[in-house]
Chains A and B, each alone.
Chain A
Amino acid sequence: MIWLLIVLFLLPLVWMVALSVQAQGAGLEAGMASFPQGVHPENYAAAVEQMEGFWHLVGNTTLLTVLSIGGQLFCCSLAGYAFARMRFAGRDVLFMLVLGTMMLPPQVLAIPQFLLYRELGLIDTFYPLLLPTLFGGAPFFIFLFRQYFLSLPAELSEAARVDGCGHFRTFFFVMLPLARPVVGTVAIFTFLATWNDFWSPLIYLNSPENQTLTLGLAAFNQSYRVAVELLMAASSMILAPCVLVYFLFQKVFIRGVRLSGAKG
């Protein structure tokens, strides 16, 4: 039973990779599930060549991903720490507000944010994609950091204070290193979310030199001059880093998803 399900779940991915090395045009000729006839790894080179500026897209996407991870970690760890360990008026109300914003569909904000960035002259730059990570962060990540900092013994930070560390030094040199598991979780989820994001690049990035892989793939998908096999080759390449990260950091992943349900 379980093996049957494993096969069932793997099948679409295996099919995608199998089709990606078929001769160009074989799928349209004989159907998408016909038995593979020969292996054509050169499809991958052809896909890179036909997808406009493939390596450039890779570069943009990587840059966006790295900067987004940095932004999220900075903003969310600070906020999470404040909510967990510091006293200030309205703390609990504000924290409820953070959780409340999790419910907000991104589309409600998409149009006024577009308007805002337009008035600031930032359309077709990376700022609209990066500013929200550095300022604001994802509510869920703030929540994760808060829960984790709450779970650390209070004596730790107090000991640091006694040793003469200020709030910032305590945070950066004592508390943040202890929160490594959450840092890992947030980094990986941000990696996936940014790498795979379609909505924000679609709306904000226009010039070919600023576009990302998902946009390139969507354009590739729309062109009827592109062979299905190449489409699958491109998809496989874009997916590969995600799969790699997934297999390398599986534990972090699974812990992260579980934490998300913990508040249920």
Chain B
Amino acid sequence: MIAGLVLAALAAPAAEYTWSAAKVGAPSGGASPAAQEPVVLRVMTHERWFAGFAYMEQVTEQFEREHPGVKVELISSSGGSGSRDKIKFALAGDLPIDVTWIDVTEFSSFLEEEVLVDLQQYFDADAEWHEEEYFASILAGMKDTRGHLYGLPSTFNPYVMYVNRSLLAEHGIAVPADDWTWDDLLRIARQVTRDLDGDGRSDQFGVSLTQWLQAITPWIWQNGGRLLDENGRVALDEPATIEAVAFLQSLLHEEKVASDDATFANQLSVSLFQAGRVAFYGPVGFWESYRFREIQDFEWDYLPLPRGKQAATAVAMRFYCVPRTARHPQLAYEFVRALAGPVMQRGLAQIGNGVPGLISAARSDAFLDPDTPQREEVFLQVLDGARFMPIRVNWAEIQDQSAALLEQALLLNTLSAEEACRRAAAAANESLQRRAQIRTRAPLGKGWFLAAQALVPLLFAAWLLLRLPRRSRRGERHAWMFLAPWAIGFVFLLAGPALVSALLSLSEWSPVQDLDQARWMGLDQYRRLAADPTFHASLRVTLYYALLAVPLQLAVALGLAMLLQRPARTQGFARTVFYLPAILSPVILGAMWRWILDGDLGAINSGLAWLGLRGPDWLKDPSWVVPSFVLMSLWTVGAQMLVFLAGLQGLDPRQIEAARMDGAGRWRRFVHVILPALSPILLFNLIVGLINAFQIFAQPFVMTQGGPGNESRFLVLYLYDQAFRYLRMGYASTLAWVLLAMVALLTLVILRTSRRWVHYAGRPR
């Protein structure tokens, strides 16, 4: 029966499997509609559970009707890596994607990598294209410096403020006018902030501040600050910017009238705004109306952001574009037009996804919806002050770096506004300079990588060829037949790549480029790593985790093993249970522990609250996040425990008995007899534990994405970021080698010193 199941399971995906294997090798081109095979247009967009997916299908069906012989395949952009990065994996793997959506903040990096098709020629050739049908200020976000248009908007989201009208009315405060100011915000926030339950901590706030970089930039612009100066340098350290960040920091930590529940990571939880405990929420886009429409208990509305020295706002947006890997660019262009057409635009507006970029749809009732009490027109009103991130700069990495630094000022209050801004600017400019520097280096040429990959296999083959005929012993030839699968793997998949990795660590290459574009950087890479503040943070966090987790794991594993030592029925059952968590996938582990450790609703804190205690906000508190991961790891020490148990059961009972006769108590027997006898096993578990601790990845990837700040950006997580988010395969390889060197060094030190404390049976102590 099991065989039947396996066969059944094999049958279905096996077809896909061969298909996908064949697909990669398929020749590009062949876009001719006369071809007999149906043309497949591969489109990477919304997840299938997205509320607007039905409109997507509607557009697709119509497109297929109008283009006989064309089949549109909708590919969800979700799946492990997160929708922002998935397209990068597709581009890096040279997979055929005809249309994709990208976040406007990524536009500059895609431009720089030259992975998008310049659609201007297609627009020019299209008689039905009328640029004036879309908001000019929105299209501006999708144009390069020459004014060429690269895509069309799905919907866009200017940042505004949400206001709880009922709460203001309750406190006798009038809803501010559209031209309200920072001072108004502060004044009202002070009036509203209260400690309702009298526990000494405020639980009703003036404002719930969003804190990702795009949400912070409006404050900077309003205060007359700028992201870039006229020389193209990141200007986050200019006084106007520092002043804006300091204002936010004071709202949060001095005035204490702002709550910090609205971080990006927190969007999953019920916000204070939904709970009716905060007067203003923002800066944030129209997308929140999707979940706020369910609010029954109070009236709310939209307001423009309060003005500083001027009115300004940022715009969040995803747009549809055509990547370089498209097999059918003309059809892809036409599908982009269809996606940005009235059906999708009105539909998405209706479900509260964003503001339509198509003017007629934005001015229609689908968006302005007179039936709702809210004033949707506010979003159109603020368009005058709307700006995008400058496209001359690659923001992908800068955004993450500065977000982590600004988080330290705003969320954690561990840095002053000035210091955070200064460091963010320094890091950003370093990153810019480096990108410029990479471009000046000479390309390395594919040949070097090929040589590195082939060197070991060639040497190995030569050695075998020289050796085998000379001795010509049958036994030896047979042995090599047995070893062949292993040896092939060893030379091609291990030794070759190891050399390639060493070469990569001395160069820089973006996986969306051809390998010929790799550039030689030499030891610069290692020098840069030594000075990289994010690497320092990452190293510190990883070492801290290892230092805490490894000894505790050993202690817990040994303790459990000692408990299991006596053979009894309970012990057998207990052994089963103690090992059980060790079989969990780290992804499941992450998914469940995120909700066990959640600050407000988590199982642990709910339990503690029941006892009248208040637990920490485990994963969001910088001093608790690493211990949280340690705690999780202690739950999964099953393997180490079993190894200890085997060792304990191999002990010579006479020796322990002898110690007992000599009058040694439990503790002395443990320290002087059991522990020395177990020391070889202790050494083994120590080294394995250490290696595992340095490789922790999936849990923080699933649970915290490295935050808060950089407090859980473990080394492998940073390596992944560098390789697949910022597309720096070279620098990531540098990191990998430093990681390897550190693990090897630590292991060596432990092995060296182990001679003093490890006692092998039969040898004198």
Given contacts A52-B49, A111-B729, A112-B504, contact A62 B563 (CB under 8 A): no
Binds B, one of A152-160, A178-186, A246-254: A246-254
Across the interface, B478 reaches (CB within 8 A) one of A16, A86, A104, A210, namely A86
| Interface membership of B172, Cβ < 8 A | no
| Interface membership of A63, Cβ < 8 A | yes
Smallest CB separation, B732 vs chain A (Å): 6
Q: Do the beta carbons of A196 and B739 come within 8 Å of each other?
A: no
User: Given the complex, which residues of B lie within 8 Å of A44, measured CB to CB?
Assistant: none
CB-based nearest A residue for B502: A112
Smallest CB separation, B223 vs chain A (Å): 31
User: Given the complex, which residues of A lie within 8 Å of B449, measured CB to CB?
Assistant: 115
Of B13, B80, B93, the most chain A CB neighbours within 10 A belong to B80
Residues 22 to 52 of chain A near chain B (Cβ within 8 Å):
27-28, 31-34, 50, 52
| Interface membership of B346, Cβ < 8 A | no
User: Given the complex, which residues of A lie within 8 Å of B111, measured CB to CB?
Assistant: none
Given contacts A12-B635, A89-B467, contact A210 B16 (CB under 8 A): yes
As a 0/1 sequence over residues 464 to 491 of chain B, the CB contacts with chain A under 8 angstroms (1 = contact) are 0001000100011011111111101110
CB-based nearest B residue for A133: B489
Cα of A251 to Cα of B580 in the assembled complex, Å: 13
User: Given the complex, which residues of B lie within 8 Å of A59, measured CB to CB?
Assistant: 9-10, 12-13
| Interface membership of B575, Cβ < 8 A | yes
Cα of A227 to Cα of B588 in the assembled complex, Å: 15
User: Given the complex, which residues of A lie within 8 Å of B694, measured CB to CB?
Assistant: 105
Interface residues of B, CB < 8 Å — how many?
135
As a 0/1 sequence over residues 407 to 426 of chain B, the CB contacts with chain A under 8 angstroms (1 = contact) are 00000000000000000000
Residues 183 to 231 of chain A near chain B (Cβ within 8 Å):
192, 195-199, 201-204, 206-211, 214-226, 228, 231
Of A31, A89, A262, the most chain B CB neighbours within 10 A belong to A31
Q: Do the beta carbons of A79 and B486 come within 8 Å of each other?
A: yes
Given contacts A88-B475, A132-B493, contact A222 B736 (CB under 8 A): no
Q: Do the beta carbons of B739 and A264 come within 8 Å of each other?
A: no
Q: Do the beta carbons of A78 and B486 come within 8 Å of each other?
A: yes
Q: Do the beta carbons of A32 and B743 come within 8 Å of each other?
A: no
Q: Do the beta carbons of B739 and A105 come within 8 Å of each other?
A: yes
| Interface membership of B95, Cβ < 8 A | yes
Secondary structure at the A interface, as helix, strand, loop or mixed, is helix
Residues 58 to 84 of chain A near chain B (Cβ within 8 Å):
58-60, 62-63, 66, 74-76, 78-79, 81-82
Given contacts A56-B12, A121-B25, contact A214 B585 (CB under 8 A): yes
Of A9, A204, A228, A261, the most chain B CB neighbours within 10 A belong to A261
Q: Do the beta carbons of B603 and A32 come within 8 Å of each other?
A: yes
CB-based nearest B residue for A123: B93
| Interface membership of A147, Cβ < 8 A | no
Q: Do the beta carbons of A119 and B515 come within 8 Å of each other?
A: yes
Q: How large is the interface on A (under 10, 10 to 19, 20 to 34, 35 or more residues)?
A: 35 or more
Secondary structure at the B interface, as helix, strand, loop or mixed, is helix
Q: Do the beta carbons of B592 and A108 come within 8 Å of each other?
A: no
As a 0/1 sequence over residues 7 to 36 of chain B, the CB contacts with chain A under 8 angstroms (1 = contact) are 001101110110011001100000000000
Smallest CB separation, B479 vs chain A (Å): 4
| Interface membership of B55, Cβ < 8 A | no
Given contacts A109-B498, A118-B511, A260-B639, contact A203 B89 (CB under 8 A): yes
Of A124, A171, A228, the most chain B CB neighbours within 10 A belong to A124
Given contacts A111-B736, A131-B493, contact A52 B643 (CB under 8 A): no
Across the interface, B10 reaches (CB within 8 A) one of A33, A63, A114, namely A63
| Interface membership of B496, Cβ < 8 A | yes
Cα of A54 to Cα of B594 in the assembled complex, Å: 22
CB-based nearest B residue for A117: B93
Q: Do the beta carbons of A235 and B592 come within 8 Å of each other?
A: yes
| Interface membership of B733, Cβ < 8 A | yes
Cα of A52 to Cα of B80 in the assembled complex, Å: 12
Q: Do the beta carbons of A105 and B736 come within 8 Å of each other?
A: yes
Q: Do the beta carbons of B476 and A89 come within 8 Å of each other?
A: yes
User: Given the complex, which residues of B lie within 8 Å of A2, measured CB to CB?
Assistant: 563, 570-571, 574
Q: Do the beta carbons of A250 and B571 come within 8 Å of each other?
A: no
As a 0/1 sequence over residues 636 to 648 of chain B, the CB contacts with chain A under 8 angstroms (1 = contact) are 0011001111110
As a 0/1 sequence over residues 76 to 101 of chain A, the CB contacts with chain B under 8 angstroms (1 = contact) are 10110110001111010010011001
User: Given the complex, which residues of A lie within 8 Å of B269, measured CB to CB?
Assistant: 28
User: Given the complex, which residues of B lie within 8 Å of A264, measured CB to CB?
Assistant: 643, 647, 680-681, 683-685
Q: Do the beta carbons of A192 and B583 come within 8 Å of each other?
A: yes
Residues 438 to 479 of chain B near chain A (Cβ within 8 Å):
449, 453, 467, 471, 475-476, 478-479
Q: Do the beta carbons of B501 and A111 come within 8 Å of each other?
A: yes
Binds A, one of B118-126, B128-136, B716-724: B716-724
Q: Do the beta carbons of A211 and B591 come within 8 Å of each other?
A: no
Cα of A229 to Cα of B121 in the assembled complex, Å: 50
Across the interface, B13 reaches (CB within 8 A) one of A56, A88, A103, A216, namely A56
Smallest CB separation, B542 vs chain A (Å): 12
Smallest CB separation, A45 vs chain B (Å): 15
User: Given the complex, which residues of A lie within 8 Å of B577, measured CB to CB?
Assistant: 6, 9-10
Smallest CB separation, B180 vs chain A (Å): 30
Q: Do the beta carbons of A198 and B482 come within 8 Å of each other?
A: no
Cα of A103 to Cα of B733 in the assembled complex, Å: 17
Q: Do the beta carbons of B736 and A108 come within 8 Å of each other?
A: yes
User: Given the complex, which residues of A lie within 8 Å of B141, measured CB to CB?
Assistant: none
User: Given the complex, which residues of B lie within 8 Å of A210, measured CB to CB?
Assistant: 16, 20
Cα of A127 to Cα of B493 in the assembled complex, Å: 12
CB-based nearest B residue for A67: B10
| Interface membership of B140, Cβ < 8 A | no
Of B13, B449, B571, B600, the most chain A CB neighbours within 10 A belong to B13
Q: Do the beta carbons of A88 and B496 come within 8 Å of each other?
A: no
| Interface membership of A165, Cβ < 8 A | no
Smallest CB separation, A111 vs chain B (Å): 5
Q: Do the beta carbons of A52 and B587 come within 8 Å of each other?
A: no
| Interface membership of B494, Cβ < 8 A | yes
Q: Do the beta carbons of B24 and A257 come within 8 Å of each other?
A: no
| Interface membership of B711, Cβ < 8 A | no
Given contacts A206-B95, A217-B588, A222-B82, contact A262 B646 (CB under 8 A): yes
| Interface membership of A150, Cβ < 8 A | no
| Interface membership of A148, Cβ < 8 A | no
| Interface membership of B747, Cβ < 8 A | yes
Cα of A21 to Cα of B96 in the assembled complex, Å: 41
As a 0/1 sequence over residues 110 to 149 of chain A, the CB contacts with chain B under 8 angstroms (1 = contact) are 1111111011011111110001101111000010000000
Instruction: Please list 12 pairs of residues, one from A and one from B, whose beta carbons are closer than 8 Å in the complex, sorted by A's number.
Output: A9-B580, A12-B596, A63-B9, A101-B494, A108-B498, A110-B736, A116-B453, A203-B724, A246-B580, A258-B642, A258-B645, A264-B685
Q: Enumerate the 9 nearest inter-chain pairs by beta-carbon distance, A residue then B residue, closest first.
A: A136-B489, A123-B93, A264-B684, A135-B489, A261-B643, A196-B585, A112-B497, A33-B606, A112-B500
**Could you list 20 further interchain pairs (A-B, Cβ under 8 angstroms) beyond the known A31-B600, A66-B10?**
A62-B10, A62-B13, A75-B485, A88-B483, A104-B494, A111-B733, A112-B500, A122-B24, A134-B485, A136-B494, A171-B482, A198-B698, A199-B697, A203-B89, A214-B587, A218-B80, A221-B594, A231-B595, A242-B584, A264-B684
Binding site for B on A (CB under 8 A): 1-3, 5-6, 9-10, 12-13, 15-16, 19, 27-28, 31-34, 50, 52, 56, 58-60, 62-63, 66, 74-76, 78-79, 81-82, 86-89, 91, 94, 97-98, 101, 103-116, 118-119, 121-127, 131-132, 134-137, 142, 167-168, 171, 192, 195-199, 201-204, 206-211, 214-226, 228, 231-232, 235, 238-239, 242-243, 246-247, 250, 253-254, 257-258, 260-264
